Amino acid sequence: MSLATFAEDLGHGIGQIRLPLPFSGLKETNAYVIKGASGVTLIDCGVDDGPTRYALEGGLNELGFSLEDVTTLICTHLHPDHMGLAHRLVADGGIELVMHESTGASVERYDDWSILQRRLASLAAEHGAPPDFVARTAAAEPRPDWAGRGVAPGRGVSDGDQVAVDDDRFLEVIYTPGHDKAHICLLDSRTGALFSGDHVLPRITPVVVYGGEEDPLGTYLDSLGRIESMSLGLTYPAHGDILERGSLRARQIILHHERRLGAMIQEVKDQPKTAWQMVGQIFRPHLNTFEQRLALSETLAHLEYLRLRDNLTRSKDSGVWQYVRRSRRSSRT
Ligand SMILES: [Zn+2]
Ligand SMILES: [Zn+2]
């Protein structure tokens, strides 16, 4: 009987370490460890708190390593459940942090959540949210300690780059923006398996938020299409169970978004609605404020996707955007 509590040996020199999460919704982050001749590569490292550090060190020990053996830390993207602890591991010395090359420009946003909150509050106001929700969103909330601090990668990588993990083994960087614009997946040259971060997850669909940038959902769907076309099998996600068929899961997530896009067109086929009104119709009721923010942001990502492809049009009424289905007859004339 195994006494392992944090880690599992997955074979082919790969280990999985389950790191606890301090917030509701997701239970844990899966970190992965790959053994090399001259050190250990760690993929993602969880949040910055004591239980995570305890689980990481315990998991490494169960796999026959210690933190001192880790020479490379690759973080799939700039979210605290993937890189909260990174600044401490890098500061301890001896570990090179590898992330997408665009990450460095976003470190300020990582450290100052008020930038994102202010942007979301102004978006909420012009998309029909009630004043009390706008005020709650704009009010600065204390940034949790477990988010750690942003740290720029020692090595910025881009699509197609190879990160050596052993003498004859490397991880190929697959750039997959959408859930986060700096998101990367990693393809194992030895096994053909994919480390998918949050890009492709089992059972749940990763949030795609709109913060005023152009077409995040289109970017995400393009990145999913790429994973689908790679005909991938074994896929190691950062949350939940290992996927047997990663490309199939990518297809399922594309279909989920296509269904939601279709439902949104139906909602506004006869009369204009605000994004806030759509949230009430598309998502389940009784969301808390945090969930409402995500739902509004995700709804906007879908509405803007449809607007940019001429399915919807929008107009401003008393300072608030209203979306409506674009009339096919008028678009032809
Ligand atoms: Zn994420
Ligand atoms: Zn995550």
List, for residues 170-214, the tens digit of each pLDDT value. Answer: 999 999 999 999 999 999 999 999 999 999 999 999 999 898 788
Is 23 a member of any domain? yes
Q: How far is the CA of 59 from the centre of ligand 2 (A)?
A: 19
Q: What is the pLDDT of residue 278?
A: 93
Q: What is the pLDDT of residue 37?
A: 93
How many folded domains does the chain comprise? 1
Q: What is the pLDDT of residue 285?
A: 77
Q: Which domain holds residue 260?
A: 7-328
Give the ligand with the smallest distance to the CA of 180: 1
Stretches in the chain below the pLDDT threshold 70: 1-4, 140, 328-333
The angle at the Cα of 61, spanning 55 to 62, to the nearest 5 degrees, equals 85
Is 2 a member of any domain? no
* CATH code of residue 175: 3.60.15.10
Q: What is the pLDDT of residue 286?
A: 81
Q: How far is the CA of 328 from the centre of ligand 2 (A)?
A: 40
- Matching residue, tokens 């009339």: 327
CA 199 from centroid of its chain's CA atoms: 6
Residues in Cβ contact with 175 at an 8 Å cutoff, skipping those fewer than 6 apart: 100, 158, 159, 183, 184, 223
Quote the mean pLDDT of the chain: 93
Q: What is the pLDDT of residue 3?
A: 55
Q: How far is the CA of 167 from the centre of ligand 2 (A)?
A: 30
**Of 32, 24, 27, nearest in space to 8 by CA:** 32
Lookup: tokens for 108: 């300020």
Q: What is the pLDDT of residue 108?
A: 82
Distance separating alpha carbons of residues 81 and 27, to the nearest angstrom: 11
Q: What is the pLDDT of residue 300?
A: 96
Q: How far is the CA of 204 from the centre of ligand 2 (A)?
A: 11
Is 68 a member of any domain? yes
Q: How far is the CA of 201 from the centre of ligand 2 (A)?
A: 9
Is 1 a member of any domain? no
